[in-house]
A and B are shown apart, each in its own frame.
Chain A
Amino acid sequence: MAKDILTSNFFELFDLPVSYDVDLTKIQQQYMELQKQVHPDKFANGSDQEKRLSMQQTSWINEAQATLKDSVLRASYLLKLKGMDFSLENETTMDAVFLMSQLEMREKMQHVKEQDDPLTALDLMAKEIKNTTDEMMQGFADSYQTEKFDDAREWIRKLQFLKKAKSEVNTLMADIEDELMR
Chain B
Amino acid sequence: MALIQIAEPGESTTAHQHRLAVGIDLGTTNSLVASVRSGDVNTLPDPDGQHLLPSVVHYGEDGVAVGAKAQQFSITDPLNTIVSVKRFMGRGIEDIASKDAHYSYDFAETESTVPRIKTRTGDVSAIEVSAEILKTLKRRAVETLGDELNGAVITVPAYFDDAQRQATKDAAKLADIKVLRLLNEPTAAAVAYGLDTGNEGVIAVYDLGGGTFDISILRLNKGVFEVLATGGDSSLGGDDFDYEIAQWIIAQANISNTDTAATKRSIMQQARIAKEALAEAESIEINIDVEGGQWQGVLDRSVLKELLTPLVKRTLMSCRRALRDADIDKADIKEVVMVGGSTRTLLVREMVAEFFECELLTSIDPDKVVATGAALQADVLAGNKPDDEMLLLDVIPLSLGIETMGGLVEKIIYRNTAIPVAKAQDFTTYKDGQTAMAVHVLQGERELVSDSRSLARFELRGFPPQVAGAARIRVTFQVDADGLLIVSAREENSGVEASIDVKPSYGLSDAEIESMLRESIDFAEDDMHLRSLREQQVDAERVIEALDAALAVDAEQLLSQEERSNIMVARQALVDVKDQNDKEQIKQSIKQLEVVCDEYVARRMNSNIKNAMQGHSIEEYASDSEAEES
Is B303 interfacial (CB 8 A cutoff)? no
Interface size class of B (residues with CB under 8 A): 35 or more
From the candidates B383, B422, B595, name the one contacting A59 in the complex (CB within 8 A).
Answer: B422
Complex Cα gap A48–B382 (Å): 16
- Give the distance to chain B from A68, nearest Cβ to Cβ, in Å: 13
B421 contacts A39, C-beta separation under 8 Å: no
Is A94 interfacial (CB 8 A cutoff)? no
State whether A4 and B609 are in contact (beta carbons under 8 Å apart), knowing that A45-B5, A59-B421 are contacts in the complex.
yes
Measured between beta carbons, the chain B residues less than 8 angstroms from A54 are 605
Chain B residue nearest to A39 (CB atoms) is B391
Measured between beta carbons, the chain A residues less than 8 angstroms from B480 are 40, 55
Complex Cα gap A34–B67 (Å): 44
A45 contacts B324, C-beta separation under 8 Å: no
One digit per residue, 1 when the CB lies within 8 angstroms of any chain B CB and 0 when it does not, for chain A 57-69 equals 1111011011000
* Of B50-58, B167-175, B194-202, B312-320, the one touching chain A: B312-320
B314 contacts A181, C-beta separation under 8 Å: yes
From the candidates B313, B445, B612, name the one contacting A33 in the complex (CB within 8 A).
Answer: B612
One digit per residue, 1 when the CB lies within 8 angstroms of any chain A CB and 0 when it does not, for chain B 301-330 equals 000000000000110010011001000000
- Give the distance to chain A from B543, nearest Cβ to Cβ, in Å: 7
- Give the distance to chain A from B615, nearest Cβ to Cβ, in Å: 12
Is A2 interfacial (CB 8 A cutoff)? yes
* Interface of chain A residues 34 through 56 with chain B (CB within 8 A): 34-50, 53-56
A37 contacts B418, C-beta separation under 8 Å: no
A44 contacts B382, C-beta separation under 8 Å: yes
From the candidates A2, A47, A63, name the one contacting B422 in the complex (CB within 8 A).
Answer: A63
On chain A, the number of residues with a Cβ less than 8 Å from chain B's Cβ atoms is: 47
- Give the distance to chain B from A20, nearest Cβ to Cβ, in Å: 20
* Interface of chain B residues 502 through 540 with chain A (CB within 8 A): none
State whether A41 and B601 are in contact (beta carbons under 8 Å apart), knowing that A34-B613, A36-B389, A47-B543 are contacts in the complex.
no
Complex Cα gap A33–B625 (Å): 14
Is A29 interfacial (CB 8 A cutoff)? yes
From the candidates A15, A49, A180, name the one contacting B613 in the complex (CB within 8 A).
Answer: A15
B6 contacts A49, C-beta separation under 8 Å: no
A56 contacts B422, C-beta separation under 8 Å: yes
* Interface of chain A residues 144 through 182 with chain B (CB within 8 A): 170-171, 173-174, 177-178, 180-181
A41 contacts B481, C-beta separation under 8 Å: yes
B613 contacts A65, C-beta separation under 8 Å: no
Is A71 interfacial (CB 8 A cutoff)? no
Measured between beta carbons, the chain B residues less than 8 angstroms from A41 are 181, 377, 380-381, 391-392, 481
B605 contacts A57, C-beta separation under 8 Å: yes
Is B420 interfacial (CB 8 A cutoff)? yes
- Give the distance to chain A from B501, nearest Cβ to Cβ, in Å: 21
Is A32 interfacial (CB 8 A cutoff)? yes
B598 contacts A45, C-beta separation under 8 Å: no
- Give the distance to chain A from B610, nearest Cβ to Cβ, in Å: 7
Chain A residue nearest to B233 (CB atoms) is A181
Classify the interface of chain A: helix, strand, loop or mixed: helix
B181 contacts A44, C-beta separation under 8 Å: yes
Chain A residue nearest to B219 (CB atoms) is A28
Complex Cα gap A180–B621 (Å): 49
B389 contacts A44, C-beta separation under 8 Å: no
Measured between beta carbons, the chain A residues less than 8 angstroms from B602 are 1-3, 53
State whether A47 and B421 are in contact (beta carbons under 8 Å apart), knowing that A4-B610, A39-B393 are contacts in the complex.
no
From the candidates A33, A59, A65, name the one contacting B618 in the complex (CB within 8 A).
Answer: A33
Chain A residue nearest to B236 (CB atoms) is A181
Is A143 interfacial (CB 8 A cutoff)? no
Complex Cα gap A44–B2 (Å): 9
Complex Cα gap A66–B396 (Å): 14
From the candidates A44, A50, A177, name the one contacting B383 in the complex (CB within 8 A).
Answer: A44
A50 contacts B2, C-beta separation under 8 Å: yes
Is A5 interfacial (CB 8 A cutoff)? yes
- Give the distance to chain A from B379, nearest Cβ to Cβ, in Å: 11
A46 contacts B2, C-beta separation under 8 Å: yes
B481 contacts A55, C-beta separation under 8 Å: yes
A42 contacts B6, C-beta separation under 8 Å: yes
B391 contacts A35, C-beta separation under 8 Å: yes
Is A93 interfacial (CB 8 A cutoff)? no
Complex Cα gap A5–B314 (Å): 43
Is B123 interfacial (CB 8 A cutoff)? no
Q: A55-B478, A57-B605 are in contact. List 17 more A-B contacts (CB 8 A).
A: A34-B613, A37-B605, A41-B380, A41-B391, A42-B6, A47-B543, A49-B1, A49-B597, A53-B602, A58-B420, A60-B422, A62-B417, A171-B445, A173-B321, A178-B317, A181-B313, A181-B317
CB<8 Å pairs between A and B, sample of 26: A2-B602, A30-B613, A32-B221, A32-B224, A34-B609, A37-B6, A39-B391, A39-B481, A40-B420, A40-B481, A41-B377, A43-B5, A44-B151, A45-B19, A45-B382, A49-B1, A49-B594, A53-B605, A55-B420, A58-B481, A60-B422, A62-B419, A65-B418, A66-B417, A174-B321, A181-B317
The 10 closest A-B pairs by CB, nearest first: A44-B381, A59-B422, A2-B602, A40-B481, A4-B606, A47-B1, A46-B2, A181-B314, A62-B418, A177-B317
